[in-house]
Amino acid sequence: MIEIVENSELRDKIHVFDDRSHAGKLLAELLTEYRGRTDVIVLAIPAGGVPVGLEVSKKLGVPLDLAVTRKLHVPWNKEVGFGAVSWDGSVILNRPLVDSLGLSSEEINHCVEEEKQIIYSRLKKFRGTVPFPVLEGKVVIVVDDGLASGFSMLVTVKTLRNKARWVVVAVPTAPVSAINLLKPYVDQIVCLNIRSGPFFAVAEAYKDWCDLDDEDVIHLLENVL
């Protein structure tokens, strides 16, 4: 049965982290069983997951790499996602939302191709010619700054599932709905701040919140990749 690790004192609270780095340090405290192990790697989802993953990687003394995944944005509202695509081209759709929005196959395919191009561009920027790490037999800790719908994380863990020996999702904050979405596909979920209720915003877990761009990620990854 999947293990869910949380900080019960932070359940349903907002503004519990100073910033992403602070959240990463606290998150690492719930992951000490993986400290110093040679079979463990942290994969951070850019952009927001990188400062969190960097702190987790440093505290645990394990390597950091990237899982470049992109949300599929609704054409007329870029703040809303109807699914996600991973770096290997795998796609997962939020089918009930797709149906309610009335998105056509052409609109979906256009969005998928658009996000794939962004992924390819990011891979070149972030990795250059550095090959993707070998994950067979590894414990992979996938880190982001939080989950909203959970579909970006879902496509990530599904992409990793046939490679990694053990998959852990580690995030500072997430709604109960996203936790439930991921439970069938991972071995462990570690989340400091689980929240319930009809509305959820990742940013509400942070006192200091700002969007990060590709240049921020490149700066954070200096001497890492």
Residue 107: domain span:
71-125
Percent of the chain residues topping a pLDDT of 90: 88
User: What is the tens place of the pLDDT at every residue in 114-168?
Assistant: 999 999 999 999 988 888 999 999 999 999 999 999 999 999 999 999 899 999 9
Q: Examine the pLDDT at 22 and tell me if it is beyond 70.
A: yes
- Distances, alpha carbon 85 to alpha carbons 4, 123, 186, in Å: 25, 14, 18
CATH number for position 184: 3.40.50.2020
| DSSP calls for 90-111 | -EEE-HHHHHHHT--HHHHHHH
Residue that wins the pLDDT comparison between 222 and 206:
206
Same-domain status, 49 and 101: no
pLDDT tier at 223 (50, 70, 90 boundaries)? low
Same-domain status, 165 and 109: no
pLDDT tier at 1 (50, 70, 90 boundaries)? confident
Same-domain status, 84 and 180: no
Same-domain status, 64 and 75: no
How many domains does the structure of the chain reveal?
2
What per-residue confidence (pLDDT) applies to 199?
77
User: What is the tens place of the pLDDT at every residue in 65-85?
Assistant: 999 999 999 988 877 889 999
Same-domain status, 83 and 55: no
Bridge partners of 92, per DSSP, are 84
Same-domain status, 173 and 205: yes
What per-residue confidence (pLDDT) applies to 93?
95
What per-residue confidence (pLDDT) applies to 128?
86
Is there a domain that residue 176 lies in? yes
Q: For the whole model, what pTM was predicted?
A: 0.94
Task: Look at residue 130 and give its three-state secondary structure.
Answer: coil
